[in-house]
Chains A and B, each alone.
Chain A
Amino acid sequence: MSENFILVTGRTVKQASGLHKGKDTDAYRRAVTVVEMNPEDMARLGIGEGRLVRLHTSAGQMEAPVHAGALPLKMVFIPMGPEANKLVGPETDGTGMPSFKGLTVEVEPA
């Protein structure tokens, strides 16, 4: 079963401190390969804490473990970085800026 969510990407402290360790380190990879979701959404989709979810957009797809977070229903958060960017399309609407926030993504248990 899959559902559409709104994706927001952004800075986290773990992402920032991980990049100083090196982007080839496990600390960085773990920091940017995670999906936060409202616990009610997790329950409805039957996804337990730490289980893998798959996210799709027209730009691409990625998989990451899911964790409960303080988010509105039907919204997921992924730290900024190469994993989240697999889902981000390159269209900039004439501004130079892609849509890193507010994308519609399809989410399903992996």
Chain B
Amino acid sequence: MKTVVENVTCTFCGCLCDDITVEVEDNRISRVRRACANGRGIFLDYDPTPKKPTVAGREVEWEDAVAAAAEILVRADSPLIYGLSSSACEAQRKAIELADLIGAIVDTTSSVCHGPTGLAMQAVGEPTATLGEVRNRADLLIFWGCNPAASHLRHFERYSLNAQGTLVPNGRRDRTMVVFDVRPTATAKAADQFFQVLPDSDFEVLAALRALVQGKEIESDSVGGIPLGRLRDLTERMKACRFGVFFMGMGLTMSRARDINVRELFALTAQLNEFTRFIVIPMRGHGNVAGADQVLTWQSGYPFAVSYARGYPQYGPGEFSAVDVLVREEADAALILASDPVAHFPHAAAMQLKRIPTIVIDPVVNLTADTAQVFFPTCCYGVDAEGVSYRMDNVPIRLRGALPTVRPTDESVLDAIIETVKRC
């Protein structure tokens, strides 16, 4: 029998598109509508069949795997809990409770994503708004160091470029789109104006724009490879728009100056509010990485790179961030929740993760799970479990499960580990 489930949320990226329709046959999703090429695999390629956990590559009963995981964590002097961003807030809360209990370092994929954005936010604040406001009001969209045409495929349609809104009823015709990037991406091709920045020159261009907004003179003919006249024209356009938005991405956070780039962009955004309404929204990658920031902040006071080793939360990007503690060989065990650092960390950090006992909780066998001492194959929030995730604009979205929950949830596995650790 075929059933149709509407308004399912895709959890692949921070867009959290909540208008997906799926068809279910024989407890598998057989068809998906409206999901993009990046997200449809979450539904179509996921096999919800219950599987047993493994210890040292051999299938065991769930309680035995929980006991093995608890033993690893209790024996460790400096355990690391990492990931969190593709799980639901309910499980993130449990992961932090476990970190508090065992005195672990807890870090999320934010540290290799928008961690520098968090540092900038703490330094200068973040003038922001929801994607709903962008959809209904924004007439100037500036994408800086991000490529939604490859990473957030429905962003234009649902929230920005092509969306029709209350004050922009004609969608694309009512909006101007500008792109700053070091290369002419597919996103740049959709723009009215493309500014090709020389590599590692974003800070200089942003500083120049801040100066021009303040009416200061710049002696150079060009900045960061961009003629000054073009930057002057853009400055006037930014000041004259009705509602402007910066969408910013890894082009700023992963290149030289990292958080300093973002701080300059946030300061520019604040400055533009002397003339008009201007906001900035980071293009969050993982489906609930914004939720990981939220949950860790409400639990510990800090958004990522937190150590509970002293019995209270300490914040330390560079000190307690996952790549750093792995490369310095400080972590002697790791619990990885819903992420794949072996695939996405620098090689040296990935190799160290393979050398220490690792526990992985994830719906699928990824490169990290492949080498884990203990692996828990859990359900996938938004597909076969309910939960809450935060969209890139920090709006919480309730996830509906399209399939019945048969596998254990991340939350229930973490809860079982916590209870076992307490008895050790």
Cβ-defined contact, A90 with B254, below 8 A? no
Q: B151, B318, B347: which contacts A94 (Cβ < 8 A)? A: B318
CA distance A80 to B109 in the complex (A): 14
A21 touches B150 (CB 8 A): no
Taking a contact as CB atoms closer than 8 A, the residue among A72, A97, A101 that contacts B115 in the complex is: A97
User: Are B344 and A102 within 8 A (Cβ)?
Assistant: no
Q: Tell me which residues across on chain B come within 8 A of A94, comparing CB atoms.
A: 317-319
Q: Are A100 and B324 in contact (CB under 8 A)?
A: no
Q: A23-B343, A82-B367 are in contact. Are A72 and B116 (CB under 8 A)?
A: no
Residues of B within 8 A of A2 (CB): none
Q: In the complex, A70→B254 CA distance in Å?
A: 21
Question: Is B365 in contact with chain A by the CB < 8 A criterion?
Answer: yes
The answer, among A16, A59, A95, A102, for a CB contact under 8 Å with B318, is A95
B183 & A71 in contact (Cβ 8 Å cutoff): yes
- Cβ of A56 within 8 Å of any chain B Cβ, yes or no, is no
Nearest-CB distance from B324 to chain A (Å)? 6
Cβ-defined contact, B343 with A97, below 8 A:
no
**Inter-subunit contact A70/B184 (CB<8 Å):** yes
A82 and B346 contact, CB distance less than 8 A? no
A85 to B343, CA, bound (A): 8
Q: How many A-B residue pairs have CB under 8 A?
A: 150
Q: Which of A24, A86, A98 has the most CB of B within 10 A?
A: A98
Q: Is the CB of B318 within 8 A of A92?
A: yes
Tell me, yes or no, whether B157 is within 8 Å of chain A by CB. no
B183 touches A77 (CB 8 A): yes
Q: Which of A9, A22, A71, A93 contacts B258 (CB 8 A)?
A: A93
B147 at the interface (CB under 8 A from A): yes
Instruction: Name which residue of chain A comes closest to B198, CB basis.
Output: A72
The answer to whether A107 has its CB under 8 Å from any CB of chain B is no
Q: What A residues does B46 contact at CB under 8 A?
A: 20
Q: Are B304 and A96 in contact (CB under 8 A)?
A: yes
B71 to chain A, nearest CB (A): 28
Chain A residues lying within 8 Å of B365, measured Cβ to Cβ, are 22, 24
Taken together as a complex, chains A and B put the C-alpha atoms of A16 and B342 apart, in Å, by: 16
Partner of A13, one of B153, B200, B370: B153
Which of these, B112, B256, B285, B366, contacts A102 with CB under 8 Å? B256
Instruction: Please state if A24 and B45 are interface contacts (CB–CB under 8 Å).
Output: no
Is A105 part of the binding interface, using a Cβ–Cβ cutoff of 8 Å? no
Q: Please name all residues of chain A whose beta carbon is closer than 8 Å to the beta carbon of B196 when the two chains form the complex.
A: 72
| Across-interface contacts of A22 in B (CB, < 8 A) | 45, 364-365
Complex contact A8–B349 (CB within 8 A): no
Q: Does B67 contact A (CB under 8 A)?
A: no
Contact with A along B168-200 (1 / 0, CB 8 A): 000000000000001111000000000010011
When the two chains form the complex, which single residue of B250, B253, B343, B346 contacts A88, counting CB atoms closer than 8 Å?
B346
Mark out the residues of chain B between 299 and 323 whose CB falls within 8 Å of any chain A CB in the assembled complex: 304-305, 317-319, 321-323
Q: How far is the CB of A20 from chain B (nearest CB, A)?
A: 2
Determine if A21 and B116 form an interchain contact, defined as CB atoms under 8 angstroms apart: no
Among residues 38 to 97 in chain A, which have CB atoms less than 8 Å away from a CB atom of chain B?
59-60, 70-72, 75, 77, 80-82, 85-86, 88-90, 92-97
Whether B119 is near chain A, meaning CB under 8 Å from some CB there, is: yes
Distance A22 CA – B340 CA, assembled complex (angstroms): 12
Residue pair A10, B41 in contact (C-beta under 8 Å): no
A30: chain B residues within 8 A (beta carbon): none
- Tell me whether A4 is interfacial, beta carbon within 8 Å: no
Q: In the assembled complex, how far is the CB of residue A85 from the closest CB belonging to chain B, in whole angstroms?
A: 5
Residue B9 lies at the interface, judged by CB distance under 8 Å to chain A: no
A66 to B115, CA, bound (A): 32
Distance from A46 Cβ to chain B, minimum over Cβ atoms (Å): 23
Contacts of A71 in B (CB 8 A): 183-184
- B323 partner residues in chain A, CB cutoff 8 A: 90, 92, 96, 98
Interchain nearest-CB distance for A105 vs B (Å): 12
- Whether B218 sits at the interface, judged by CB under 8 Å, is no
Judged by a CB distance under 8 angstroms, whether B259 is at the interface is yes
* CA gap between A101 and B202 in the complex, in Å: 12
Residues of A contacting B156 with CB < 8 Å? none
Contact A90 B349 (CB under 8 A): yes
A4: min CB distance to chain B, Å: 12
Cβ-defined contact, B344 with A85, below 8 A: yes
* A59 CA to B37 CA, complexed, in Å: 33
Residues from chain A with a CB closer than 8 A to the CB of B107 are 96
Residue of B nearest to A69 (CB): B183
**Contact residues of B with A, CB < 8 Å?**
12, 37-38, 40-42, 44-46, 107, 111-112, 115-116, 119, 147, 150-151, 153, 182-185, 196, 199-200, 250-251, 253-256, 258-259, 285, 304-305, 317-319, 321-324, 326-327, 340, 342-350, 364-367, 370
Known interface pairs A16-B12, A90-B348; 20 further A-B residue pairs with C-beta atoms within 8 A, sorted by A's residue number: A10-B150, A10-B151, A11-B150, A12-B150, A13-B150, A16-B41, A24-B370, A70-B184, A71-B184, A82-B367, A85-B350, A88-B346, A90-B323, A92-B324, A95-B119, A95-B318, A96-B112, A97-B321, A98-B254, A102-B199
A-B contact pairs, 28 of them (CB 8 A): A8-B182, A9-B254, A10-B150, A11-B150, A11-B285, A13-B150, A13-B153, A16-B37, A17-B37, A17-B38, A20-B40, A22-B365, A23-B340, A23-B343, A24-B365, A72-B182, A72-B183, A75-B199, A82-B342, A82-B347, A90-B323, A95-B119, A95-B259, A95-B321, A96-B318, A96-B321, A98-B112, A102-B256
